[in-house]
Amino acid sequence: MVKQIPNDEVILLGLVDVISDYSSSFSSGIANLEEQISRLKLAKTQINNEQEASLIEIKEIKKPELGKSWTGNRATDFNESRSGAYKVMLTIVQDEYDDYQAKIEEKINSLERQKAILEAAVAAAREASNLLSKGEEFLEQVESKVSDLKKWVF
């Protein structure tokens, strides 16, 4: 004879699987976001290091100092070209590198907000799981929590 499992137990077992799946999905999402954040932080550090090195290197554009023997149109043209190159490089190194770093920081902040949302969802799943362990009398509350978890997913 096959033993019948009460309907509430079947529901509880199904909810255990649903909560476990959601929790796993949320945790996987968190790990993915942490990886992206880590890579972006590394990129930002590398850009900052490149910026610092470039600021030192572009000073070399103005060397050697033109002496008194450098006169005339060729000297003036050369000096203007060199000054123009210096200004362009300085703009790139200061402004564009700063823009890149700001965009990376914005993306990091966005990903950290997404991660916080998923962490809240994991906490909600954990709370639902704790309610499940208390038994059938908490079934209605668990179903409500699972309904809330569906909102996190969809």
pLDDT at 154 over 60: no
pLDDT classification of 4: cutoffs 50, 70, 90: very low
Residue 2 lies in a domain: no
Q: How many domains does the chain have?
A: 1
In the predicted model, what is the mean pLDDT of residues 85-96? 91
Cα angle 98, 103, 105; round to 5? 95
Residue 142 lies in a domain: yes
Higher pLDDT, 8 or 90: 90
pLDDT at 2 over 70: no
The range of the structural domain enclosing residue 58 comes to 8-153
Residue 1 lies in a domain: no
pLDDT at 5 over 70: no
Residue 103 lies in a domain: yes
Instruction: Give 126's Cβ-side CA count (13 Å radius).
Output: 8
Residue 108 lies in a domain: yes
**What pLDDT, on a 0 to 100 scale, did the predictor assign at position 135?**
63
Residue 126 lies in a domain: yes
Higher pLDDT, 64 or 101: 101
In this structure, are residues 57 and 90 in contact, taking their beta carbons and an 8 Å threshold?
Answer: no
Residue 78 lies in a domain: yes
Please state, for a pLDDT cut of 70, what percent of the chain lies above it.
82
How far, in Å, CA of 22 to CA of 149, rounded?
7
Residue 67 lies in a domain: yes
In the predicted model, what is the mean pLDDT of residues 114-127? 89
pLDDT classification of 74: cutoffs 50, 70, 90: confident
Prediction pTM value: 0.73
